[in-house]
Every structure is written in structure tokens, then in C-alpha cells.
Structure 1
């Protein structure tokens, strides 16, 4: 059996990640009968209050080529550590309003613990290592660069 060669996939979505995209992604896995557990993380823009005003949206930018390569490396690392069936990463670029989804991470495995552990580690690596930046857009037309924690 020939080994499948993995290549970088485009993880970026223009604007918010829609509920339909999330639902469709989940629904597509119902035909995969070797999956016993999924773990899903949804990152949502929140209305933080800053000194200069309340956040109304975040505008995400990235060094796309570098981010896609790094996301690929992170995916490969997670696949090598956990017995996963599937892994999906979607991250917004552009403006995402408060209450909308900006990050969707979805892992699947034969057993729940692998899916949950992989999802958690994946989210931490994305937040720490991907060259993606968020500018918080405030109610009063001011803006501040967001720090990932």
C-alpha cells in the first residue's frame, strides 16, 4: 500500500467561520465508522474592555506562506504523537465581529482521549507558534494589537 504524502492545506477563511462550515465538517464524518470520538475547539471573539474602549471586532492578518508551512509542521507533529483519524484547522483572516468564530479545530480518533489531548495541544501550538496577528478594533475607532496568551 502506497503511503499518502501530506501537503500543506489552506487553513484560512475570509472573515468569520460560519456555523454552516462547522456543521458540514462534523456531518462529513458520519460516514467514517472507525471514529469513536471527536474533540472540537471553537475560538470566539469576545468584547474585552480595554483602556481605550470595548472590543467590537478583531482584524486578523498573517504571513500566509509562513503560517501555512508552520501549520503543516504542527499538523505532522500532532499526527505523529496521537492515533488520529482526522484533523482540521480553520483560522479567520480579515475582520471578525464580537460573538463570531475565528478558530475552528477539530480532531477525530478511534478513542476520545486521543482526540481530546490532540485538540488541546493543537490549539496551544496554533496560539503560540503561528504567525497570525489580531488587531482589536474598538468601539471608538481606536485599535490595539492583541497579545496571545
Structure 2
């Protein structure tokens, strides 16, 4: 399997800045012509205004080692297609500073039937959060920061 992955073109996953509503709407529109699809599911991870030790989080700054992260994402993609009968799968993650309320993770899956998209979406999100080397730095109102723990 790994040899096969090396020869495939890597999908673009990482985007500089927030994931916009226009980007999401265009994805939805692009799938309307695929008549074998009966269900879509979209997960959007949004930066939350947490309060940590009395300080408000105003943004997250995401970074990663893209080559390593892309290899891991390709394995997750392959294994997800083996496990679920999906028609399409898209994963996007922001890099850089993303403010509270903005979207930083988008998982979009499509299949012939609804149960597959629900299960596959949760499976993908859980694996991305636990296995892909993406690092988030919580930025506070006073511009101090700390590394975020992924949960």
C-alpha cells in the first residue's frame, strides 16, 4: 500500500488562513452534478473562544510539517475508502492565524447512502485530530500564547 501512495499525486489539504463560507459553498455546488451521490456530510471545526486561567483565547495559530502530515493524511484517506463505500472525500485544514469564530477544519464526505457519511466523517475527524502532526498555538487577548492540547 505504501508504494502505491508514493506514486499518487498528493491532494492539497492545507490552506493559508480561514476556510471561507464561499469555499464551502463552491464545494457543495461542485458535487450537485454527481448523480450517484445520495448523501453528503460536512464537519466544520471552528475556533472556540475558550477561557484558560482567566485569559480569553482570541485565535489559534496552526502549523505543521506538511510533508509528514500529507503522508499521514493520504494513509487515512486510503484506509477510509477501504472501510466505507464513499464516492468523495475532502479534508482541508487551515495554517496560520485563525480567529475565534472562523473555520479551521473542513471534512466533506459523499456516498450513495446516509449511514456511510455519518460514520466516515466521525472516523476521519477523530483520526486527523489524533494522528496528523498539526500544532495549534492558543493566542490570548494580550498576545501571549501556549500550545493547545488536541482533544
Equivalent pairs, count: 145
C-alpha separation between the residues in 2 aligned to 1:7 and 1:129? 21
Question: Is residue 120 of structure 2 the alignment partner of residue 118 of structure 1?
Answer: yes
Work out whether residues 52 and 138 of structure 1, in 8 Å CA contact, stay in contact via their aligned partners in 2: no
1:8, 1:71 within 8 Å by CA — same for their partners in 2? no
Per the alignment, residue 79 of structure 2 pairs with 77
**Matched position secondary structure for 2:127:** helix
2:89 and 2:27 map into 1 onto residues whose CA distance is 11
* Structure 2: gaps spanning 5 or more residues: 1-6
Partner of residue 50, structure 1: 52
Matches of 1:38 and 1:7 in 2, distance apart? 25
Gaps of 5+ in 1: none
SS of corresponding position for 1:31: coil
Q: 1:62 to 1:11 in 2, by over 3 A?
A: same
Distance 1:79 1:6 in 2: 15
CA distance in 2, matches of 1:89, 1:7: 15
RMSD in angstroms over aligned alpha carbons? 1.0
- Contact 1:7–1:72 (Cα < 8 Å) also in 2: no
Instruction: Please state how far the C-alpha of 1:7 moved relative to its aligned partner.
Output: 3.3
